[in-house]
A = this chain, B = another copy of it.
């Protein structure tokens, strides 16, 4: 199969590596406006060639978009304008605003909304790695709006990445990811800002980082471009989760202030229930 990947960062790059290695892609074309990323991807053999968007579309069976949400929203209709039989999918962690944008496009059936739930806090083609997706979940949204043929090809592609399939409508997807992914990132960004604000002596932050801080703050290294886009496009759900989160923190604060040890202990015991789920 001839595939094009638009965006050769962590997400697109990691897809390229495994689709080639595992024999799904015969030839991989990269579309990448960042020259350094394009050059790197070509140099390390991640892609066979770098082409402009239109030429890439013409020469592809499958087009995988791995770019931030706003770019996906603006580019997807333009890509659908140009496809014949080509199949298009994306990798964004928000889905409502994307599916909404092309709901009535006459090539809507050629598009499959998908979200591979994997990543690291690093970015760029240098961060791409084989096995990133193995065993993780991919969410397919609003599959009734995709043609059976398109869905079959995209599902097969994710099978080559060893991903578990989950089906959801775009609205439910966006609510769920606000809880299990987006809030974790805000929590981590805010934690980093809190510590950077107060700890002027950066040597101490480093020396004391083994107390749990390193694990909770890992996500704070994540890309500003990607996450600004995500929060913007999932604002309503993210704000609702943030409200609950701030409420829980205030409950802790009040319980600590009033020295209600039973209350604190109860809250921690309840939080411990997450053990059974993860």
Contacts and interface: CB of A to CB of B under 8 A. Distances in A.
A205 interface: yes
Interface stretch (A38-46, A55-63, A74-82, A237-245): A237-245
A166 interface: yes
Interface in A178-192: 179-181, 183-192
A47 to B, nearest CB: 25
A241 B198 contact: yes
A223 B117 CA distance: 29
Number of copies: 2
Contact of A278 (B206, B256, B261): B206
A275 B219 CA distance: 10
A208 B268 contact: no
A216 B214 contact: no
Given A196-B274, A271-B193, A271-B196, A228 B265 contact: yes
Nearest to A204: B176
A217 B176 contact: no
Nearest to A238: B256
B270 A193 contact: yes
A227 to B, nearest CB: 6
Contacts of A205: 179-180, 277-278
A218 B221 contact: no
Given A193-B271, A232-B259, 9 more contacts: A181-B211, A184-B215, A193-B248, A194-B241, A205-B278, A224-B265, A231-B256, A235-B257, A246-B253
